[in-house]
Structures are given as structure tokens and as C-alpha cells.
């Protein structure tokens, strides 16, 4: 299966390098990596990508995380890739994880295939001997020569499927072209980030995308380095705006939704433009208007 792996960045190049290295170290299946340089003026990441001949998309303003994912979709599927693997740039893929997902995509009819998270919080709790590598309540990590996450050994070569899917969206998950054909684009109204994953999972449920979470398929997650160690991510006000928009769109907070159609099929105007009320977002015509609206809030 022709597969591309997309990494959205917003600075934090040292973490991006760790993510990329974990792909090099663990994946045997054929793949192509593409990078979105989401932080305006991030010449360091651009130069790094150029040095490795990695395809990359450069943003001149902060368009937000959902827009960056949509750029990935357009880049990959216009080049006839059959599967897209989303991986966060504060994520370390454990051995076998990506190969397991690709194998399941190739041999089953699952369309959205999820890995399992090992969070920095859980790892430090389970292995107290590594706590010294992470400082403070935000688990700040600065020793980029260390590999404390390697204490975890619960991964393996295994394609057993847990019927429960939709458990991961953009940390480490594989989407076949058929899944994207059903779901369409990510909603850019969750600006600059957060709640877009809840929205995509909600739409996955409503469209009946066939999803699974794999056994022995793990990634390590540093936990929101864009906010914790970089000047990016959503502010408190933006997070609250995103939550309100989600509740407006689905009639309730995540897990308490009342609508099966966005906005219950009623008009919803932002910046003078009506937002799509379909579950599948088929085009990107409204994106600039929506982003400009939220950037002004």
C-alpha cells in the first residue's frame, strides 16, 4: 500500500527530529514522509527538511493545525497515495507500530487504524527511575541525547484488532483513502488547535468508517510540547471558543452530542459566510474566511 507519513510542526525542531528518527529506526514498510512547517519564519525546520530532501509545505501565517492536516491530505492524495499516517511531532513511534498499521490496512477492510498511547505521565508513574529526565508539572524535556521512553517494552509484531476504534486521531493513526473519501477535510474552525480531533471522531462514528485499535502497537507521547515548550498552541480563550463551537455544531459537549447533522441542519454563519452543515467536508472554499474570523477573536 502506497503510504505517506505526515508530520505537522510548529517550531520545536528537536522534538520533530526525534519523531522522524523514530520512523527511520522502526519502519520497514515503504513510505514517504512529508512535513508541514506551520510556524511562520521557522527557517530552522525548513533547512533541516531541505538537507534531508524531505517534501515540505511552508505556511507564511499561522493557519492552525486543522488547515495543516488538510494540506497533508491534498499533498498525499493528489500524488495517488493510498494511505495517510498522521504522527504528532511530539510522538515517538515504538518498534512495529507503523508496520503493524500498514499491514492491517493492506490485509483487512479497516479504514481508520489506531495505535495506543504511552503518555509521559504514565511512563514516569510506571518507571520512577526515569522521572529525573522530565522536570516540573509540564514534564519539560531537554536532554535530547537521552532515550528514557525506551524502558517501555510492551510493543510487539502483532496485527490483532480490538473492535474498539476511533481511539486516536492525529497522534499516531492511519487513514486509508476510502476513510478520507467518506469524512473529507478536518474542520478548520477549531483554530488553532484542539477539539478538531473530537469532531473528526464524531464524524467517523456518523459515517460508519470502519476503525480498530491494534494490540501491541504503541507510541510515546511527550504531551503538547507546542504549548509546554514552544510559543504556540491554543490559548485558554481559543480552547473555550473551540469547545463552544463544538457544542454548537453537535448539540452538546464530547460524549453528550444530540445532533446527527452539524448544527442540526440549521444555518450557521461565521464572518458572513455559512459554514458547511454536512458531515463530510468536501472542499476548502470556506477555510480562509473561517480562519480570518477566528484569528480576529
The mean predicted confidence, pLDDT, of the chain is 95
Q: What is the pLDDT at residue 297?
A: 83
| pTM score, whole prediction | 0.96
DSSP 49-91: HHHTT--EEE-SS---HHHHHHHHHHHHHTTT-SEEEEEETTE
- Please give the Cα distance from 72 to 10 (Å, whole number): 15
- Please give the Cα distance from 231 to 198 (Å, whole number): 24
Q: Compute the CA torsion angle 247, 253, 256, 260 (nearest 10 deg).
A: 30
Q: Is the separation of the CB atoms in 67 and 291 below 8 Å?
A: yes
Biggest alpha carbon–alpha carbon distance for the chain:
55
User: Whose grid coordinates read 497533508?
Assistant: 72
pLDDT tens by residue, 135-150: 999 999 999 999 999 9
Pairing state of beta strands 32-37 and 56-58?
Answer: parallel
Q: What is the pLDDT at residue 228?
A: 77
Q: Return the SS3 of 170.
A: coil
pLDDT tens by residue, 211-244: 999 999 999 999 888 877 776 777 889 999 999 9
Q: What is the pLDDT at residue 231?
A: 66
Enumerate the domain spans of the chain.
Answer: 3-234
Query: Residue 228 to residues 18, 105, 240: CA-CA distances in angstroms?
Result: 17, 34, 18
Domain 3-234 architecture: Alpha-Beta Complex (3.90)
Along the chain (297 residues), what's the average pLDDT of each consecutive run of 10 residues? 97 96 98 97 97 98 97 97 97 98 96 97 97 94 95 92 89 98 97 96 96 96 83 81 96 96 93 88 94 91
Tell me the torsion sign for CA atoms 24, 26, 28, 29. negative
Taking alpha carbons only, the member of 78, 76, 158, 65 closest to residue 113 is: 158
Amino acid at each position: 500500500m502506497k503510504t505517506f507519513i505526515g508530520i505537522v510542526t510548529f517550531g520545536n525542531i528537536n522534538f520533530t527530529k526525534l519523531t522522524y528518527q523514530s520512523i527511520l529506526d522502526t519502519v520497514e514498510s515503504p513510505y514517504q514522509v512529508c512535513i508541514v512547517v506551520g510556524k511562520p519564519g521557522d527557517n530552522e525546520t525548513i533547512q533541516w527538511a531541505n538537507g534531508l530532501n524531505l517534501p515540505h509545505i511552508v505556511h507564511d501565517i499561522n493557519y492552525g493545525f486543522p488547515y495543516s492536516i488538510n494540506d497533508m491530505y491534498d499533498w498525499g492524495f493528489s500524488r495517488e497515495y493510498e494511505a495517510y499516517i498522521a504522527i504528532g511531532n511530539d510522538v515517538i513511534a515504538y518498534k512495529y507500530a507503523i508496520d503493524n498499521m500498514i499491514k492491517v490496512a493492506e490485509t483487512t477492510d479497516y479504514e481508520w487504524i489506531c495505535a495506543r498511547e504511552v503518555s509521559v505521565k504514565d511512563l514516569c508513574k510506571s518507571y520512577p527511575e526515569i522521572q529525573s529526565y522530565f522536570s516540573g508539572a509540564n514534564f519539560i524535556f531537554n536532554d535530547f541525547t537521552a532515550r528514557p521512553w525506551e524502558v517501555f517494552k510492551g510493543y510487539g509484531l502483532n496485527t490483532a484488532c480490538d473492535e474498539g476504534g476511533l481511539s486516536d486521531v492525529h497522534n499516531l493513526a492511519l487513514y486509508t483513502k476510502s476513510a478520507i473519501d467518506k469524512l473529507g477535510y478536518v474542520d478548520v474552525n477549531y483554530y488553532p488547535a484542539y477539539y478538531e480531533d473530537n469532531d473528526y471522531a464524531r464524524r467517523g462514528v456518523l459515517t460508519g468508517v470502519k476503525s480498530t485499535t491494534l494490540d501491541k502497537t504503541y507510541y510515546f507521547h511527550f504531551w503538547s510540547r507546542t504549548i509546554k515548550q514552544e510559543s504556540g498552541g491554543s490559548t485558554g480563550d481559543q480552547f473555550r471558543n473551540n469547545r463552544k463551537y463544538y457544542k454548537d455544531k453537535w448539540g452538546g459537549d464530547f460524549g453528550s452530542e444530540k445532533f446527527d447533522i452539524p448544527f442540526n441542519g440549521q444555518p450557521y454563519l461565521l464572518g458572513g459566510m455559512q459554514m458547511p452543515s454536512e458531515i463530510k467536508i468536501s472542499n476548502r472554499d470556506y477555510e480562509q474566511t473561517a480562519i480570518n474570523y477566528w484569528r480576529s477573536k
